[in-house]
Chains A and B, each alone.
Chain A
Amino acid sequence: MTTASSADHPTRRDFLFVATGAAAAVGAAATVWPLVAQMNPDAATIAAGAPIEVDLTPIAEGQDIKVFWRGKPIYISHRTKKQIQEAQSVALSSLPDPQPDSARVKAGHDQWLVVIGICTHLGCIPIAHEGNYDGFFCPCHGSQYDSSGRIRQGPAPANLAVPPYAFLSDTKIQIG
């Protein structure tokens, strides 16, 4: 490839080769972009992920419901006095992922726990009202969450995530 006659201007030739190679590289990179970007969620999926409103009136104390937002199950628990009490009194230092209960519920709405019902271990759905901590139990590999959705025991590394939500009124929340 480099058997050019010496009469040729080597610098000019090299510049041409480098410029062509660089242009080819830029072109290839620009081509790859849409081929990869197409795998991201499409516009309809994103639009369908808009916030949802949930009416809390039908949920009695001690009950919980599961709603879906962006394809994820969201647990909304109406906690009992006992559950709130347990969640608030536990020593933070004993928790694998220390977080006070107040950071996991909205101020003034202590009775409502809203968490994404996806185990932080490998994504199974924990069962409510099971396990030793008055919270959730994940049947896949035995993780146990307490009444604040915090991890207490088992292989899961973190607490159940709290989705973005806000109280529109005392009996209505908007998730998302």
Chain B
Amino acid sequence: MSGPSDFQPSNPALKWIERRLPIFGLIHSSFVAYPTPRNLNYWWTFGAILSMMLALQILTGVILAMHYTPHADLAFKSVELIVRDVNYGWLLRNMHACGASMFFFAVYIHMFRGLYYGSYKEPREVLWILGVIIYLLMMATGFMGYVLPWGQMSFWGATVITNLFSAVPYFGESIVTLLWGGYSVGNPTLNRFFSLHYLLPFVIAGVVVLHVWALHVAGQNNPAGVEAKTEKDTVPFTPYATIKDMFGVSCFLIFFAWFIFYMPNYLGDADNYIPANPGVTPAHIVPEWYYLPFYAILRSIPNKLAGVVAMFSAIIILCFLPWLDSARTRSSKYRPLAKQFFWIFVVVCILLGYLGSQPPEGIYVIAGRILTVCYFAYFLIVLPLLARIETPRPVPNSIADDVLAKSKGRAATAASVMLAMVVAGSLLVGGTQNAKADEGGTAPPAQKWSFSGPFGKFDRGSLQRGLKVYKEVCAACHGLSYVAFRNLADPGGPGYSPAQAAAFASEYKIKDGPNDQGEMFERPGRPADYFPSPFPNEQAARAANGGAAPPDLSLITKARSYKRGFPQFAIDFFTQYQEQGPDYVDAILQGFEDKAPAGVTIPEGSYYNKYFPGHAIKMPKPLSDGQVTFDDGSPATVKQYAHDVTTFLMWAAEPHMEERKRIGMQVFFFLVVFAFLMYFTKRKVWANAH
């Protein structure tokens, strides 16, 4: 793309093609011979990382679409079936869901890098603006993708975000109706979001081509911010940049794999494991972490239209950056003031993100307003002003001079990149764990679980006892509808044989039909059948239980959580703490007290529970000592029952957990070895360039 190439393939067949379609010359000049500044640091590898992420998201997305059903009644279930039944479905889903977060994480680093080194300045304005367009498309794609699992957060996120458009004067309502395809968010909305979610990544890929084209016309910026002048300033893209990018990618994959295999739900919201319910809004509507700064800006303005305008302006303003910052020196390395303000701006963005995850009350609102002002002031006041008053330090004459000036400190960069990524990532995202259990409940005590940590495994005895407790107690009111009897014999489960699972199934009566006479009939259960639900429908469940339908327990340990708070959530990232759900469920089962403490009034038909949010729970104390007897001599106590049934429910919520952790360890081992190999290969290749 950087002008006609004199590249000629030697193979006659390739020559024949090249004469008619000079594609090899194009590839050669764009990705092989293309001169790349020799002083690029590791922040520049994020371009390659983003390309890889886009490719990976498209690949896993196309695969998931093979198994997903875009229908309001089936979407949630189809996602669960992907995770439970499709071969490696859990892996593909985790890759795609965590991949979205990693994609945004990388794009934010890429953008901040451009901001710091002035990569938007003349002659790269169009390149930058194309980047902003990609970012906007990513936001739309990410949002619509989040709607597809059709959980509570999907549904209410879709409702809130589409309602942003109702702020448009005169046409607002019609626009929103147009987006929904109905009177509210519903099946037509889900269908079109699926269609667009499939389309937009290819549009992104198209704009990426333009982005790369513009990059290759203007040439890459570099940390010194001076243009490449002579041969000495550059190295050919292949092998130098290619190898370095691959090393960057392999390090990033380690970070990515940490989420896929060990923290798949760290970035998600527990509420999204509850199927969409148009009648109940979750206590806190929080978008995915990557939208939080803009969400905070939206909420800090007390006027609907102004808030929406401010939110969109916060992104659109990036397009004008090349003209707002008219300083001649590109790189902030040589701009002492701009450098400081840049870091302040980074902190402002992170704090806005944190505020976006907090409830919009009290000090959070005031802080949000101040930071919103800071955000805009950076672009509208600080940058234009600095361009006038700041005296930059002298920039090096050429890139070659810049390289000579710093012959050390290279190896440290890679380490600092990793560290910065990990720290910034955990900081940005941690605030989002939002919980059912955080209003007015006491934090559940942390338990010891055999399945926690990177080597965690389910305790088979505990799973079998838990199944017994579920069958004899919980099953009277709670369904377990995503678990099939055959699962009891799956590897990583309670450890029954297929024959035992079949015998277990045959004790159940399953409704089947219609038969040849058109009638429904009952037959003994088979391994392929799912645990039958105690009530035929939600209304019946509600009516029989004082107005509160007992939730299905298949996902309960993932659908419940409680707030960990700062700095605990950041520590959780490193300790791989993922057991909020089990801790909560266990605590609820043990948290019943006969008498509410003084000052707490419990309404008629409710019961006092120490750990339930608001303390008034509709479920009567389900377990009491001696209720279930275990064959293996385990104590017949509530404490033991709670522990066992929670273990069982954790397995029910994630039957492939052991496989996930086992494969994760193999992948980790491989990636670390590979990253080392890449590092030394990169050093060998670059040895010639220094």
Contacts and interface: CB of A to CB of B under 8 A. Distances in A.
B687 A38 contact: no
A40 to B, nearest CB: 6
B67 A23 contact: no
A99 B604 CA distance: 78
B89 interface: yes
A40 B59 CA distance: 17
Nearest to A30: B670
A166 interface: no
Contacts of B85: 42-45
Contacts of A16: 677, 680-681, 684
Contact of A35 (B59, B528, B670, B680): B59
B689 to A, nearest CB: 10
Please classify the interface of chain A as helix (H, G, I), strand (E, B), loop, or mixed, using the class held by over half of its residues: helix
A29 to B, nearest CB: 11
A170 interface: no
Interface in A60-115: none
A23 B677 contact: yes
Contacts of B527: 47, 50
A30 B670 CA distance: 10
B274 interface: no
B230 interface: no
A62 B67 CA distance: 43
B674 A50 contact: no
B88 A1 contact: no
Contacts of A3: 688
A34 B687 contact: no
Chain A interface extent, by class: 20 to 34
Given A16-B677, A43-B85, A48 B528 contact: yes
A40 B87 contact: yes
Contact of A44 (B66, B484, B671): B484
Contacts of A35: 59, 63, 92
B81 interface: yes
B74 interface: no
Contacts of B59: 35
Interface in A14-60: 16-17, 19-20, 23-24, 26-27, 30, 34-35, 37-40, 42-45, 47-48, 50
Nearest to B242: A1
B528 A42 contact: no
A38 B670 contact: no
Given A4-B688, A13-B684, A50-B528, A34 B92 contact: yes
Contact of B239 (A1, A37, A45, A50): A1
Contacts of A23: 670, 673-674, 677
A169 interface: no
Contacts of B673: 23
Contacts of A34: 87-88, 91-92
A6 B17 CA distance: 38
B558 interface: no
Contacts of A45: 85
B84 interface: yes
Contacts of B87: 34, 37-38, 40, 42
B118 to A, nearest CB: 32
B459 to A, nearest CB: 24
Given A37-B88, A38-B88, A20 B528 contact: no
A11 interface: no
27 contacts: A4-B684, A16-B680, A16-B681, A17-B681, A20-B677, A20-B680, A23-B670, A23-B673, A23-B674, A23-B677, A30-B670, A34-B91, A35-B63, A38-B63, A38-B89, A42-B67, A42-B81, A42-B87, A43-B85, A43-B86, A43-B490, A44-B81, A44-B484, A45-B85, A47-B528, A48-B528, A50-B526
Interface of A: 1, 3-5, 8, 13, 16-17, 19-20, 23-24, 26-27, 30, 34-35, 37-40, 42-45, 47-48, 50
Closest 5 CB pairs of A and B: A34-B88, A47-B528, A42-B85, A43-B85, A20-B677
